[in-house]
Amino acid sequence: MCYHKNHIFVYHHIKKPMKTKFIISIVLFTLCIVLFSFTENNKDVYQNSTSIEFAEIPENVKSILDNKCMGCHSNQSKVGKSKSKFNIDKIIDGSYSTGKLASKYGKIGKSLSENKMPPKKFLAKYPNKELTPEESKIITDWATEQKLKLNKE
């Protein structure tokens, strides 16, 4: 971005600074958009201050969710109903209300203990997505703990 000041007044050099100006304005514009989107996010988080505390998912839980659940239960999911019923990204970004969160945690515990998730049909196609008993326990314990925390308040 550095050029000699005098060069601005030299005709054949004018093109270059114009180009840099153009680039700088684009960079600034993108920066503005990025900053703007960040402040928007913060606004959302602050409005939901109760959820943010519970949005922190322990690493061991997160890796299981990521490997075995978020294929369907995330923003990227193409399975519409799985996503509308339960979206893990909404736990992470804190966009579920406290009541919704309590319900989702309760349902995680139930659907795992009743062996409803991952669905049998899905496992027939993707057997490596099956939860081991240890993994199932980690998720169930975490969900139950979170649910109790929310219901105590």
Question: Which positions lie near other proteins, rule CB under 8 A?
Answer: 80-81, 84-85, 97-100, 102-104, 106-107, 147, 150-151, 153
Q: Quick one: tokens of 85?
A: 């019923």
Comparing C-alpha atoms, which of 48, 91, 34, 33 is closest to residue 66?
A: 91
What CA–CA distance (Å, rounded) separates 55 from 13?
Answer: 54
What CA–CA distance (Å, rounded) separates 105 from 93?
Answer: 15
Nearer to other proteins, 54 or 135 (CB): 54
Query: Least distance in Å: CB of 125 to other proteins?
Result: 22
Query: Least distance in Å: CB of 91 to other proteins?
Result: 13
Between CA 146 and CA 153, with CA 152 as vertex, the angle to 5 degrees is 100
Nearer to other proteins, 98 or 136 (CB): 98
Nearer to other proteins, 97 or 132 (CB): 97
Q: How far is CA 54 from CA 40, 78, 147, in A?
A: 20, 26, 10
Query: Least distance in Å: CB of 123 to other proteins?
Result: 22
Query: Least distance in Å: CB of 90 to other proteins?
Result: 12
Query: Least distance in Å: CB of 106 to other proteins?
Result: 5
Cβ-Cβ contacts under 8 Å for 70 (sequence gap 6 or more): 76, 77, 88, 89
